[in-house]
Every structure is written in C-alpha cells, then in structure tokens.
Amino acid sequence: MISGLPALSHEQQQQAVERIHALMADGMSSGEAIALVASEIRASHTGGNVVARFEDEDDDGEEDPQD
C-alpha cells in the first residue's frame, strides 16, 4: 500500500510525541492517542507530503500459505 503522509520537521514530530504522551498520562490508550494526534495533524497540516509504502508481508519472511 502506498500512502501520502504529512512531512513533519523534527520539532513537529517531537511535539506530536509529547502530545501522545500527555494524552496517555490522562488515561487514554496508546492507540487512541496516536489516532487522535494523527487525525489532528492531517486536519491542520499545510506542508508537503512524504510518499510511504507499506508492505503487507509477515515480519518472519514466510509467505502466506493462502496466497
């Protein structure tokens, strides 16, 4: 899968991490915090995008027998 992701500076990435940590400290699960911060970034991001490719393969390197 190929997806366009917001290109964030190191400082913006650090701010996102700190926001995620703060949400988790307030009792939110890590998955919810990450999803919320990602949604906020997508909604407010005005910079460029980075093209990222996500492979659907298993980490162990073995092929799926169903293929």
In a domain, residue 63? The reply is: no
Q: What is the pLDDT of residue 63?
A: 57
In a domain, residue 12? The reply is: yes
Number of domains comprising the chain: 1
In a domain, residue 23? The reply is: yes
60/26 Cα distance (integer angstroms): 36
In a domain, residue 39? The reply is: yes
pLDDT in tens, 14-50: 999 999 999 999 999 999 999 999 888 888 866 555 5
In a domain, residue 65? The reply is: no
Indicate yes or no: pTM above 0.95.
no
Q: Is the pLDDT confidence value at 51 over 90?
A: no
For 45, the domain range is 2-53
62/35 Cα distance (integer angstroms): 30
pLDDT band at 60 (very low <50, low <70, confident <90, very high): low
